Structures are given as structure tokens and as C-alpha cells.
Amino acid sequence: MKQIDIYIYTVSHSRGRGPAVFRAVLEFIRADGKPYTLDVNGGDMETTINRITIKAAVTALRRIKLNQPYEIRIHADCDYFERMLKAARVYAEHDWKTKAGKEIANADLWKEVYIFKKTNHVTADSDLLERYECKDELEDKLKLWKYMS
């Protein structure tokens, strides 16, 4: 099974809702044996740090061709993402609702992540995040976003 690593970096200056930006780096080995990286970037003017992390994962996952199963490791500094990814199957079986019957937060994005999880081995951790350090770059991008709005 081919392996893809996705490194997710996010920056937000708000504890609740506010602007946030992300960078996701996909790293894999091409068919010719050469290593390859692909950058995807984005952001949102009104979001939470948890939601922007899931959005970064979805944006990166959409760049993967689904012609065969992969081992996908998502590296992100977000405990929420790691916990929810592990529980995604259970939430999917319960129509993306909590035990109390309330829809889980960010269900729209989790449904997209789950599509990949059903056909691939997808895990999450907070390892190796120093690999593509970009905090300063993202801080600058967030300042620019705030200035432009």
C-alpha cells in the first residue's frame, strides 16, 4: 500500500471564531520512485481553529487520486482532529449525531474526510510537525488577510 503523509499547519489569533489560514503539505513517492511534495493553502475569514484544521485536511485529501487504497498519515497539532478521526466511523453510523441527537460540529467536513477513511487507512498524530515549519509565513498571510478585509 502506498503511503502519503500530510502535514497540516494552521494559524488563528482568535480563541473562538475569526480569521485563520492553513498550509498542508502532501508528501509521497511517485511511481518512478522519486519523492514528491505538493503544497495546498487556504483560509477562512470566519472560522475556528478546529474547523480550519479539518478544512486543510479535506483540501489536501481532495488532491489524492482515488485509484487505489493508500496509507494516509495526517500530522496536525490538533487533539480534536485526532480524536474525531478515530471516532468517525461511529459518528457515521449514527448519522453524524451525538448521543443526545444533536449534529456534531463540522459534520459537513467530517463526511468528506470519512469518504477517504472508508477506502484508505487514514490516521492522525502530531508527530514530525517541524518538517515543513511555516509559522512565520502563515502569520504574515493572516496579517495580510486581516488587512485586506
19 in Cβ contact with 149 (< 8 Å): yes
How far apart CA 80 and CA 63 sit, in angstroms, is 23
pLDDT for 16-52, tens place per residue? 898 999 999 999 988 888 989 999 999 998 999 999 9
Residue 102 is given by DSSP the state P
DSSP letter string, 104-134? PTTHHHHHHHHHHHHHSEEEEE-TTTTTT--
pLDDT for 85-116, tens place per residue? 999 999 999 999 998 999 999 999 999 999 99
